Amino acid sequence: MTDSLEEYAETLSKGSKYGGVSAIVGEVPYMKIFIANCPGDYTIKMMPMSDTNSSGSVFHKGSTLVQDMSKAIYKLRETGKLAKLERNWFGDS
Protein backbone atom coordinates (compact mmCIF):
# COMPACT_ATOMS: atom_id res chain seq x y z
CA MET A 1 0.00 0.00 0.00
CA THR A 2 1.30 3.41 -0.86
CA ASP A 3 0.95 6.60 1.10
CA SER A 4 1.66 9.27 -1.48
CA LEU A 5 1.43 10.13 -5.15
CA GLU A 6 5.21 9.80 -5.36
CA GLU A 7 5.01 6.22 -4.06
CA TYR A 8 2.29 5.41 -6.61
CA ALA A 9 4.55 6.64 -9.41
CA GLU A 10 7.61 4.85 -8.01
CA THR A 11 5.91 1.46 -7.62
CA LEU A 12 4.29 1.70 -11.06
CA SER A 13 7.55 2.72 -12.73
CA LYS A 14 9.37 -0.28 -11.22
CA GLY A 15 6.78 -2.71 -12.53
CA SER A 16 5.88 -6.03 -10.94
CA LYS A 17 9.07 -7.74 -12.11
CA TYR A 18 11.26 -5.33 -10.14
CA GLY A 19 9.52 -4.98 -6.79
CA GLY A 20 6.76 -2.63 -7.91
CA VAL A 21 3.28 -3.15 -9.31
CA SER A 22 1.64 -3.30 -12.74
CA ALA A 23 -1.55 -1.52 -11.71
CA ILE A 24 -3.04 0.36 -8.78
CA VAL A 25 -6.70 0.00 -7.85
CA GLY A 26 -8.26 2.64 -5.66
CA GLU A 27 -11.04 5.09 -5.13
CA VAL A 28 -11.79 7.13 -8.22
CA PRO A 29 -11.04 10.60 -6.77
CA TYR A 30 -7.56 9.53 -5.62
CA MET A 31 -6.79 7.88 -8.94
CA LYS A 32 -7.86 11.04 -10.79
CA ILE A 33 -5.53 13.14 -8.63
CA PHE A 34 -2.68 10.77 -9.39
CA ILE A 35 -3.34 10.90 -13.15
CA ALA A 36 -3.54 14.71 -13.03
CA ASN A 37 -0.10 14.83 -11.41
CA CYS A 38 1.49 12.39 -13.90
CA PRO A 39 0.13 13.51 -17.27
CA GLY A 40 1.02 11.35 -20.23
CA ASP A 41 2.49 8.40 -18.34
CA TYR A 42 -0.55 6.51 -17.11
CA THR A 43 -4.18 5.87 -17.93
CA ILE A 44 -7.18 5.31 -15.66
CA LYS A 45 -9.91 2.75 -16.25
CA MET A 46 -13.19 3.21 -14.39
CA MET A 47 -14.54 -0.15 -13.27
CA PRO A 48 -18.04 -0.40 -11.83
CA MET A 49 -17.79 -2.96 -9.06
CA SER A 50 -21.50 -3.01 -8.21
CA ASP A 51 -24.60 -0.91 -8.74
CA THR A 52 -23.50 1.56 -6.06
CA ASN A 53 -19.71 1.33 -6.07
CA SER A 54 -16.90 1.75 -8.56
CA SER A 55 -13.15 1.92 -8.51
CA GLY A 56 -10.50 3.35 -10.73
CA SER A 57 -7.44 1.42 -11.79
CA VAL A 58 -4.25 3.07 -12.99
CA PHE A 59 -2.11 1.35 -15.62
CA HIS A 60 0.83 2.28 -17.81
CA LYS A 61 -0.52 3.61 -21.10
CA GLY A 62 -0.89 0.76 -23.58
CA SER A 63 -0.94 -1.93 -20.88
CA THR A 64 -2.73 -5.13 -21.87
CA LEU A 65 -3.85 -5.51 -18.25
CA VAL A 66 -6.67 -3.01 -18.84
CA GLN A 67 -8.68 -5.48 -20.94
CA ASP A 68 -7.77 -8.43 -18.71
CA MET A 69 -8.94 -6.61 -15.59
CA SER A 70 -12.16 -5.43 -17.24
CA LYS A 71 -12.99 -8.95 -18.42
CA ALA A 72 -12.27 -10.45 -15.00
CA ILE A 73 -14.49 -7.96 -13.17
CA TYR A 74 -17.25 -8.38 -15.76
CA LYS A 75 -17.12 -12.16 -15.30
CA LEU A 76 -17.26 -11.82 -11.50
CA ARG A 77 -20.28 -9.51 -11.77
CA GLU A 78 -22.13 -11.74 -14.26
CA THR A 79 -21.64 -14.91 -12.21
CA GLY A 80 -22.65 -13.25 -8.93
CA LYS A 81 -19.24 -13.89 -7.39
CA LEU A 82 -18.52 -10.17 -7.01
CA ALA A 83 -21.71 -9.65 -4.98
CA LYS A 84 -20.78 -12.63 -2.81
CA LEU A 85 -17.30 -11.21 -2.20
CA GLU A 86 -18.81 -7.83 -1.28
CA ARG A 87 -21.19 -9.45 1.21
CA ASN A 88 -18.39 -11.54 2.74
CA TRP A 89 -16.03 -8.59 3.15
CA PHE A 90 -18.40 -5.67 3.71
CA GLY A 91 -21.69 -7.18 4.84
CA ASP A 92 -25.14 -6.36 3.53
CA SER A 93 -25.10 -2.58 3.49
Task: Name all contacts of 75-79 with Cβ < 8 Å and 24+ positions apart.
Answer: 77/48, 77/49, 77/50
For 36-86, the pLDDT digits (tens) are 888 778 887 776 665 556 667 788 778 888 888 888 888 888 898 988 887
Would you say the pTM of this structure is higher than 0.85?
no
Rounded to an integer, the average pLDDT of 15-35 is: 83
φ and ψ at residue 88, rounded to 5 degrees:
-65, -40
